[in-house]
Amino acid sequence: MRSLSANEALEELLAGNRRYVAMRQIYPRQNQVQRQALLDGQYPFAAILSCSDSRVPSELIFDQGLGDLFIVRTAGHVIDPLILGSLEFAVHVLRVPLVVVMGHAQCGAVTSAVKGQSLPGNIRAIAEALQPVVASVRDSAGDPVLNATHANAIHTADRLIHDSAILAEAAAQGQLKIVPAYFDLKTSRVQLLREG
């Protein structure tokens, strides 16, 4: 079990991403010994809220091993009470000191919301949930999808505190840092959008 501060956890993630970018991964804690150690429980050092996109696997992007990260994924990293409950579990029960909200390049959910596409079934609910963020950057200069993707990660990070008393209390007591980030598919780099 590793006990890291939020800043140490963030540096561990960024160091892993630098290895991933350079194709010098070490694939830590991915062996039989680690599998056996995890039979007694899990002790992740960070939680990642990211998109369900198959090109954005957090354990690989951050070059982490079994038991290191508590991952929650939804299209466009849209949140609801179930997602909040999952992150509350990570913070309240597992004592995770860091939550990273990670948007990414070419996000289909954000792109659909920006284009205002008509979507069937429950897919529509994802695009509708993203509309306030899209509207907030509609008049901004630059690429509208990139702008909305960055704004969505920041907005989601803020909503985690606003919508969850558990996360808000942990943050207020200095036990939790929530950091919005962006993953560039072309460079494979994770960029922090705010330090938390």
Q: pLDDT tens digits, the chain, 196 residues: what are they?
A: 568 999 999 999 999 999 999 999 988 787 787 778 778 878 999 999 999 999 999 999 999 999 999 999 999 999 999 999 999 999 999 999 999 999 999 999 999 999 998 889 999 999 999 999 999 999 999 999 999 999 999 999 999 999 999 999 999 999 999 999 999 999 999 999 997 6
Torsion angle, alpha carbons of 94, 96, 99, 104, to 10: -70
The reported pTM is 0.94
Q: pLDDT value at position 2?
A: 67
Cβ density class 60-85: b for 16+ within 10 Å, e for less: ebbbbbbbbbbbbbbbbbbbeeebbe
Q: pLDDT value at position 1?
A: 58
Domains present along the chain, CATH in parentheses: 6-192 (3.40.1050.10)
Q: pLDDT value at position 196?
A: 62
The DSSP letter of residue 99 is E
